[in-house]
Chain A
Amino acid sequence: MNIRPLFQRVALVLGGLALSLYVIFLLSKNYEGQLQLQQTLQEKFRLETSSRATALGNFFGERLNNVKYLAESRELSIYFTNKALKMSMQYGLRSSLLAIQQRFEQVMEETSIQGKPVFDRLVFVSVDGQVLADAGGPRHDHRPRDWSTYQVKDRGGPRLLQGETDPQVTIVSPYWFKGAYVGELVAWVSLQRIAAHLVEHPHSALVHREAILRDPGGHLLLGHMDPPTVGQVVEGLAGQPPATVLSTVIPNREGGELPVVAMRTPIAGTPLSLLTIQPRVEVFGNQATVLLSVVSPGVVVTLAVMVVVRFWMRRRQIEAERTRTLAEAAATYRSIFESANDVIFVLDVDTGRVVDVNGQAMWQFGYTPDEVKVLGIEGLSARDADGRPMSAEGWIEHLRGGDSHLLEWRFKAKSGEVIWAEIGLREGVIGGERRMFAVAREIGGRKRAELELRKLNEELSARTEEARRMAVEAQAAAEAKSRFLATMSHEIRTPMNGVVGMAELLADTELSRRQRRFVDNVRRSADTLLTIINDVLDFSKMEADMIELDDAPFDLRELVDEVAELFAERSQRKGLELVCAVAPNVHTALRGDFGRLRQVFANLLGNAIKFTETGEVSLRVTCTEEDELQCLLSFEVRDTGIGIPVESQERIFDAFAQADGSTTRRHGGTGLGLAICKRLVHLLGGEIHVESSLGAGATFRFTARLLKETCVERTSAQILDALRTLRVLVVDDNATNRSILEEQLAAWGIAHASADGAASAFDWLREAEVSGRPFGLVLLDKEMPGMDGIDLARQIRLDVGVEQLPIVMLSSIWRDLDDGAMRALGICAYLTKPVRQSQLYNTLLRTMRTDHAVEPEPGMPRPAAHNALSPTATGQRILLVEDNPVSQELGREMLSSFGLRVDVAEDGAQALGALQADSYALVLMDCQMPVVDGFEATGRLRAAERTAGQGAHVPVIALTANALSGDREACLEAGMDDYLSKPFTMGQLAETLRRWLPFAPAGEAVSAQTSPEAMTRSEPEPQEPRLDPEALEAVRALQRPGAPDLVRKVVSLYLESAEKLILDLQKAAARRDAEALTSSAHSLKSASANVGATRLSALCRSLEMDSRAGRLDGAETRARAVVEEFRAVTHALGPSSASPTDRTEAIA
């Protein structure tokens, strides 16, 4: 048992001994190295000193060379040559002498060390002792010289003069000319300069003190040393071979001793030697002594032994502390082990034998710890599912398996009860033996809960699966339904096209009253059916999630006006007041799906009119919130109708639901409209709800979130500029109408006043006269109780001071006044309510700009307005591609009724053939056809056009009964230009054709050879007469007796202004300046209408419209047509006009 410490001690001593020996070995090597270093440093000192002496030798060698080259210089030679020619000093020789002097000075300057001349003096002494040239001398050398002592007169070269004790080295060089000695060149080199050079030499770290001695005696010539010290060193070196390094001691400045090394080295080629003395410590540094090298190992060994003893004692102390700590830890462990609430097993990790178990085993299993040790884990465990015994090997495998140290286990108690336990396994060491610790915790309650939970989960999964299956089935059923509905609607639309179109055509024919009633019923029924089909189709698309929103810029104000116009007639028929208003602060330039928005408006307004018998229906738009990019708009549709009971208000937004069955029967409808609205509003990012009570009307409010389109909005500044000076009087008995007009006027910054009837209006007119703030315009409602609008207008004309006041008549009914009557009343415009804001705005502007001639109402329907194409468009050839015979018949009839020539192709292949054979202005192309469908036919047509080049492009308009989303995109993608959904009305067809059949430009659609003249000829006779005699008659009616001829004056003024306008128009057309063209066409249009030149006015109007829309193709040709027409008008005005021929010629 005691062997280990003894062994440790012996090893420790042996280790210390080995370390000591190693240290001694290292120190001896160090000593040896120091001796070598000393020798090396001494050698280095010797070499350094020798190289210094060599450098000095080279230095003196260079100086000898300087003198040699000077003696060979051209200047000396020229001087002696000229002297030999006996030239006198005065005439020429002096300049030669001067050249020598300059040469000497040049050498003095050029040979320098660190900017200071090497030579103290350069002298040329002639043979007779005269100084011929002397550089440096006068400045530095004042000593009298006996020049004869410097004249060596031999044939040798330059050399150092021997035997001097001066701190200067003298170099002499005898000069011979043509074999005769003629003088001596003498040079002095300053030793001081050399000393400075030596001390400051950058490569000499070691050399510290130097002196130059005169050989052989050792006379000190140069150096900051005491002569006695030098003498002592020189004496010490005497008799030694050259390059011997002497170690000696010299007195230092404090009177002490300084160990030094010294060496004397001859300077080659000179009678000088270099003595170097340097403190020993500078040469060898601080080297350790031999004694230190011997003593050091002993000290090291002693220290090592002390460290070993200390280490051994410390180790014993640590061992005692560890034993005590272990005993305490064992006691603590036992205490915890026995007091644990879980059963803790300690097992042999290799055999699984139970080594120890705590007293808890007795409580849990009913066995004492000793019984447990005997039974082992196998005896304590229940059997597995297969009836096999379970042993501790399972635990060992689990512990080594790695993932988790937890497992569940079934024990069997002494009572036979099976106990579920969770066992935590850990591996550790006790008394140097590897053990496995198993802590078993009873988990019977938890196991039971788990079993129940698992059962519940299984049930839940089964139910979920069932629900999912049912949902899928339901979704499939819903989609199938939607698809069915969509397909059915599509199938219905095609025959509906025939029904609607034919009924429309039939209505335009001669019919008896009875027949007309039948036809009207057919048309109404078809309209109703179409509405229902559209709703069903829309709803089915929504159900099938096939609705996608468009994103396009639009003007909200125009949209609202458009919808208002759409419902104007219906509301008027029922005697309802329809009011539409967009709040002034609403940003109206927007982006979004305006079609869907219009659909919601139409639905709500349609319902409102449908369910209202008296009162008014209004649509108001306000802005709820906005930022830079978007705004949330609030729309309110209010009516004064029958209202909706509270209990029905929730249901009405559900599909197929209506307020109640009786109204369904009375008012009809699918009950899909509001459901569609609700879905559309959600798609538009808003909400919809209704406020109503039975009999008190209903208010539908919805919101929509729309993006702002900033670039197209008309600025209020422009409006302000135009209308700033205007003051308007509003006369209307309806307060809502008044307030809307007031709001609009206020928004444009127009001063205004309102009157609710004739009396109040006259009050305002008088006030204006008195205050000096006259009205510029009256907005007058036609239908008022008491004195109506017509009477009031007539009265105003009779009143003094305001006879000329322009009046704009507003009416809820179609215009029933002819132009003459209106002109007689001074009514300059007639607007049908609801008045579109843009319409009102334009009317105001026009009124301010023109001379108050009666303007036809913009956008006002006229008889057969739907089939009015431009005069030049009629007669053009159209190709209708359609497979359905009814649709063919319908299309042919409709197009013919527009005055167009129609060819029919039954499929795409026939159409391509026809297009190859003939030229057409436009193609109406059905999409779904046998053989070659519309998409493919269009694709081939476009390819052929590309191959042909020349920019040919026949407009192709798609006709499709398929109203599903994406159809339009497919048509455009195939190369078609526009899209018309079946069934379509004549109005829709005419509108579409108008877009693509403008004034046909030369060479494209009509005929390639069309010239301006041909074009004029080919135009069908316009409907309007050249001159409307009524216009001039109206003027004539204003003729006062005795006054100049008013008609003649008016005509003369017209011709004068028209000439200028026509010139402007021609220029603008030539420049393709759309703005100028619009302006001049507009002015000419109005002026021509005043004198009754209706045809010319119409030509100008169409030119104005097209140029305003940027369509400038053929503008010049059309301008020429205007000129032609103007010539004819001038001629027709004949007697009234002054020299018309001159004018037209000037214009042409």
Chain B
Amino acid sequence: MNALFRRLSSMLTAGALLWVTAALAAAVAGDLSEVKARGVLRHLGMPYANFVTGSGDGLDVEVIERFAAYLGVKYEYVETDWNHVIGDLTGDVVKPAGDKVKVTGHVPVRGDLIANGLTMLPWREQVVDYSVPTFPSGVWLIARAGSPMSPVEGSGSPAADVSAVKTMLRGRQVLAMKNTCLDPDLYRLQETGARVVLYTRSTNLNEMVPAILQDSAEATLLDVPNALIALDKWPGKIKVIGPVSAPQWMGVAFRKSSPELRTAFNAFFEQLWRDGTYLALVKKYYPTVITCFGDFFDSSTPQVAAAR
């Protein structure tokens, strides 16, 4: 038994050593030097609003392409989906539970960063590091035009407006999507008495409005950039009831083991912002957003403080 135990313990020790080595390697892997050595920057993304349009362009596509050029490496787009995007970046399969997160497994790392209109959420910040905020956001409740829910009048207090919207939700069917910024748990929708309908047909957030127009639900959660596009696409068919979240920001996500890559991106992004390139890109993909979020875009530098 002793011998067996010794053998087992030595095996375990060896396994542990292997794991530590692998973990260390993973920790080191993917940072700036490796990207440069590899000569390729892998951009994780999926079609979402005008961040990644799905037809080869998009606001984030153009930004990351420029970032790759800035680093002097080739750009490579790696398609993923909302369920796997974190795992594809970190190698950890995670399960958010409110603001907490649980690692449930490991998968191969497929990319170096996520740039896909990824909203900065507390649980996500536990597993990835964000860049400075790159885009303002928030989550609105969008309803069909014929919905009896009446849009809130802006009171000037976001908290009051969120409260007013949630008050209306009791008994209403609200479409949401897990693991995204439209995750109902993030906004405690269950507590409002709303009948949450999870959209599972795909992980494409662009399909939320068409879903409510086809009576999948009366209303849907929708992030602000996407909502502005939807208002333009379906005028008179949908209406914005009001906010369900406080103002949010989006950013580019990095592995926690890629601090240098993140620092490099922040430096690059500040340059892109200062020389006006970024604003021009935003105007190209979200023509009306600048007026809506004038405070965010009027600044001469990216709003680091706003994110904190």
Complex interface: chain B residues within 8 A of A91 (CB): 140, 151-152, 154, 161, 240-243
Q: Is A1008 located at the chain interface by the 8 A CB criterion?
A: no
Is the C-beta of A90 less than 8 angstroms from some C-beta in chain B? yes
Distance in Å: Cβ of A138 to nearest Cβ of chain B:
15
Residue B287 CB within 8 A of the other chain:
yes
Q: Are A95 and B236 in contact (CB under 8 A)?
A: no
Residue B295 CB within 8 A of the other chain: no
Q: Pick the interface stretch among B177-185, B224-232, B274-282.
A: B224-232
In Å, the complex CA distance between A99 and B228 comes to 11
Q: How far is the CA of A78 from the CA of B228 in the complex (A)?
A: 12
Known pairs A95-B291, A95-B292, A98-B291; A88 contacts B151 (CB<8 A): yes
- Contact indicator A85/B239 (Cβ below 8 Å): yes
B246 to chain A, nearest CB (A): 14
- Cα–Cα distance between A98 and B228 once the two chains are bound (Å): 11
Minimal Cβ-Cβ distance residue in B for A101: B291
Q: Residues of A contacting B239 with CB < 8 Å?
A: 82, 85-87, 92
Min distance, Cβ A82 to any Cβ of chain B, angstroms:
7
A1079 contacts chain B at the CB level, 8 A cutoff: no
Closest to A87 in B: B151
Given contacts A87-B151, A96-B231, contact A81 B288 (CB under 8 A): no
Judge whether A1060 is part of the interface by a CB distance below 8 angstroms. no
Least CB separation from A89: chain B residue: B154
Shortest CB distance A83–B (Å) = 10
Mask: chain A, 54-98; 1 = CB below 8 Å from B; 0 = not: 000000000000000000001001100110011111111011101
Distance (whole angstroms) from the CB of B8 to the closest CB of chain A? 63
Check B288–A88 contact: CB distance below 8 A.
Answer: no
Question: Known contacts A81-B236, A85-B145, A87-B240; is A95 also within 8 Å of B231 by CB?
Answer: yes
CB <8 Å contact, A95 and B242 = no
Give Cα A94 to B227, complex, Å. Answer: 13
Q: Are A77 and B292 in contact (CB under 8 A)?
A: no
Least Cβ distance of A100 to chain B in Å?
11
A102 within 8 A of B: yes
In the complex, chain B residues whose CB is within 8 Å of the CB of A82: 231, 235-236, 239
Q: Which residues of A contact B191 (CB under 8 A)?
A: none
Q: Would you call B235 and A86 a contact (CB within 8 A)? A: no
Q: Which of B145, B150, B235, B241 has the most CB atoms of chain A within a 10 A radius of its CB? A: B235
Question: Are A78 and B240 in contact (CB-based, < 8 A)?
Answer: no
Measured CA separation A85–B227 after assembly (Å): 15
Can you list, as one digit per residue, whether each of B231-269 has a CB less than 8 Å from chain A (1) or not (0)? Answer: 110011001111100000000000000000000000000
Residue of B152, B242, B243, B292 touching A98 (CB-CB under 8 A): B292
Q: How far is the CB of B53 from chain A (nearest CB, A)?
A: 19
Residues of A within 8 A of B161 (CB): 90-91
What's the tally of chain B residues with a CB closer than 8 Å to chain A?
Answer: 24
B287 & A78 in contact (Cβ 8 Å cutoff): no
Task: Find out whether the CB atom of B232 lies under 8 angstroms from the CB atom of A99.
Answer: yes
Contacts of A89 in B (CB 8 A): 154
Q: Are B292 and A88 in contact (CB under 8 A)?
A: no
Tally of A-B residue pairs with Cβ under 8 A? 67
In the bound complex, residues from chain A placing their C-beta under 8 Å from that of B151 are 85-88, 91-92
Task: Please report the C-alpha to C-alpha distance between residue A507 and residue B153 in the assembled complex, in whole angstroms.
Answer: 152
Given the contacts A82-B235, A86-B150, A91-B154, A99 and B240 also touching, CB distance less than 8 Å: no
Q: B153 to A88, Cβ gap below 8 A?
A: yes
CA distance A81 to B240 in the complex (A): 12
User: DSSP majority for the A interface?
Assistant: helix
Residues of B with C-beta under 8 A to A87: 151, 239-240
From A95, which residue of chain B is reached at the shortest CB distance? B288
Is there contact, CB below 8 Å, between B288 and A98? yes
Residue from the list B235, B243, B292 in contact with A94, Cβ < 8 A? B292
CA distance A1144 to B287 in the complex (A): 102
B residues less than 8 Å from A92 (CB atoms): 140, 151, 227-228, 231, 239-240
With A94-B291, A98-B291 as contacts: A88 and B235 at CB distance below 8 Å:
no
| B20 nearest CB across to chain A (Å) | 51
Which residues in chain B, 117-157, are within 8 Å of chain A measured between CB atoms? 140, 145, 150-154
State A98–B291 Cα separation when bound (angstroms): 7
The docked-state distance in angstroms from the alpha carbon of A88 to that of B149 is 13
Instruction: Report yes or no: B152 in contact with A88, Cβ–Cβ below 8 A.
Output: yes
Chain A: minimal CB distance from B94 (Å): 32
A86 to B289, CA, bound (A): 20
Output the nearest chain A residue to B239 by Cβ-Cβ distance: A85
Closest to B156 in A: A90
In the complex, which residues of chain B have a beta carbon less than 8 angstroms from the beta carbon of A77?
Answer: 235
Interface members, chain A 936-951 (any B CB < 8 Å): none
CB proximity of A540 to chain B, nearest CB, Å: 99
Residues 1002-1032 of chain A, each 1 if its beta carbon lies under 8 Å from chain B, else 0:
0000000000000000000000000000000
User: Which residues of chain A are near B287, meaning CB under 8 Å?
Assistant: 99, 102
Min CB gap B248→A, angstroms: 15
Query: How far is A822 from B19 in the complex, measured between Cα atoms in Å?
Result: 102
Contacts of A98 in B (CB 8 A): 288, 291-292
Closest chain B CB from A92 CB (angstroms): 3
A375→B145 CA distance, assembly (Å): 148
A88 touches B145 (CB 8 A): no
State in angstroms the CA–CA spacing of A99 and B289 once bound together: 11
CA distance in complex: A99, B233 (Å): 13
The interface centre, meaning the residue of A77, A78, A91, A102 with most chain B CB atoms within 10 A of its CB, is A91
A88–B227 Cα gap in the complex (Å)? 14
Partner of B242, one of A78, A88, A94, A96: A88
Q: Which of A88, A94, A99, A102 has the most CB of B within 10 A?
A: A88
A90–B243 Cα distance when bound, in Å, is 10
Q: Mark interface residues in B194-216 (1 if CB within 8 Å of A CB, else 0).
A: 00000000000000000000000
Verify B153–A81 contact, CB threshold 8 A: no
Residues of A within 8 A of B235 (CB): 74, 77-78, 81-82, 96
Q: Quick one: closest A residue to B240, CB to CB?
A: A92
Give the residue name and chain of the A residue nearest to B234 (CB): A78
Measured between beta carbons, the chain A residues less than 8 angstroms from B231 are 78, 82, 92, 95-96
Residue of A nearest to B154 (CB): A90
Q: How far is the CB of A805 from chain B (nearest CB, A)?
A: 82
B289 CB contacts on chain A under 8 angstroms? 95
Cβ proximity bits B161-187 to A, threshold 8 Å, 1 near / 0 not: 100000000000000000000000000
| Minimum CB distance partner of B153 in chain A | A88
- 25 inter-chain pairs at a CB distance below 8 angstroms, sorted by A residue, are A74-B235, A78-B231, A78-B235, A78-B236, A82-B235, A82-B239, A85-B236, A86-B151, A86-B239, A88-B151, A88-B152, A88-B154, A91-B140, A91-B151, A91-B161, A91-B240, A91-B241, A91-B242, A92-B151, A92-B231, A92-B239, A95-B232, A95-B288, A95-B291, A96-B231
Please list the residues of chain B having a beta carbon within 8 angstroms of any beta carbon in chain A.
Answer: 140, 145, 150-154, 161, 227-228, 231-232, 235-236, 239-243, 287-289, 291-292
Extra inter-chain contacts (16) besides given A74-B235, A86-B239, CB under 8 Å = A82-B239, A85-B151, A86-B150, A90-B161, A91-B140, A91-B154, A91-B161, A92-B151, A94-B292, A95-B292, A96-B231, A98-B288, A98-B291, A98-B292, A102-B287, A102-B288
